[in-house]
Amino acid sequence: MATTTTATEPRRITLSNGKSFTVTSNSSSNSESIPLIDVSRMYSEKLEDRQALAEEIRNASREIGFFTIVNHGVDMKLAKEAFEQAKLFFARPLEEKMQVCTDVMPEEFCGYHPMERYNWEGSKRKDLHEAFNWNYNAARDPDLPDTSIPEINLWPKGAIDFQEKLCTYQSALISLARKLTRIFALALHLPEDAFDDFVRQPEAGMRILRYPEQTASRDDQTGIGSHTDVECFTIVTQDSPGLEVLSKSGGWIKVQPVKDAFVVNIADCFMRQTNDFFVSTIHRVINENGKERYSVPFFWGFNRGTVLNPVVTCVSEENPNKYPVMTAGEYYAWRTKRQKMMGMSDRTA
């Protein structure tokens, strides 16, 4: 069905990044779509090929902040194994999952996030999803392994296969993200290696999510409410429809999964550093598929010590920097606290 029509009473929502927006309609449509980009050119030895790809990504990052990538080079068998592990984990008894609840580490977003715990939009019913998050582990970095940095994670005891399969997939996405980071540098008309030092020990957390079939009205509940991501960009693996992106015209765009593809979206740190040249777009999930939905987002950002100075090609006397300068770690910590606090409160007006 192309369009889902619901009530259109306007309401204002405040996001965890401190910004607010007004929802004028809760319907979603297939009448618009996000760009589809073949990224195989990032493996080309010719700079002009990589630059041509970068211009496509520049336009998508500027216009909508979301795009689908194909021919990315990642073995999708790893994605399949991650989905299988997600299904096994979420099928565990609640008391087992709660042993690694995120509350154990309040300063981090890792561990288990229980079903219907958060309420990003202040809806009548809490968000219909459960999740498990884990952070970057420098010892498992596929390109720059470092065993001297302690791991900060909450893994279930004895779940060796669970940890191994998820981290193996994470490692593959770390390598992809580093290649995309170089393309993003070209997209900002910078030298290709401009961000290399910032991703030697990156923020590279990951998450598995389960969305049960939603029976409540989309006016009363979401799978995960309207939000923007925190770091530089996110790479999402999804098994079925449900992701919706807010267009510039104010309508919700249904993002249809493409076989063996990833959805990439700009996140808030990149928007800040590009002085709003890149767009960190509001998105949400509503699962109306009539069955469970699973997704695996990977969150990529600069290391926590990176000072978030504005990108030089995005500021000028006529267009000065709009944001206070802080480190990436300071920004991540601020957002983590706000996400945990605000997600459990009513934030509509």
- d(C-alpha 287, C-alpha 271), whole Å: 28
- Per DSSP, the three-state class of 91 is coil
Residues 180, 249, 247, CA angle at the centre, nearest 5°?
30
- d(C-alpha 315, C-alpha 133), whole Å: 35
Q: Name the pTM for this structure.
A: 0.92
- Per DSSP, the three-state class of 325 is coil
What is the per-residue pLDDT for 4?
A: 40
**Rounded average pLDDT per 10-residue block, the chain, 349 residues:** 43 61 74 92 98 98 97 98 98 97 89 91 90 97 95 94 98 98 98 98 97 94 92 96 88 92 97 95 94 98 95 96 94 79 45
What is the per-residue pLDDT for 106?
A: 84
What is the per-residue pLDDT for 20?
A: 65
What is the per-residue pLDDT for 139?
A: 97
Give, rounded to a whole angstrom, the gap between the first and last alpha carbons of the chain: 31
- d(C-alpha 261, C-alpha 237), whole Å: 7
What is the per-residue pLDDT for 237?
A: 98
What is the per-residue pLDDT for 78?
A: 98
What is the per-residue pLDDT for 288?
A: 94
What is the per-residue pLDDT for 2?
A: 34
DSSP E strands in the chain: the ranges are: 3-4, 11-14, 20-23, 28-29, 36-38, 66-70, 111-113, 130-134, 203-211, 224-227, 233-238, 243-246, 252-254, 262-266, 283-285, 293-301
Q: Which domains does the chain have, with CATH numbers?
A: 3-342 (2.60.120.330)
What is the per-residue pLDDT for 17?
A: 59
- How many CB atoms are closer than 10 A to CB 147? 11
- Burial category of 187 from C-beta neighbours within 10 Å (exposed 0-12, middle 13-18, buried 19 and up): buried
- How many CB atoms are closer than 10 A to CB 317? 5
- Rounded (10°) angle between helices 76-90 and 160-187: 130
- d(C-alpha 228, C-alpha 303), whole Å: 19
What is the per-residue pLDDT for 38?
A: 98
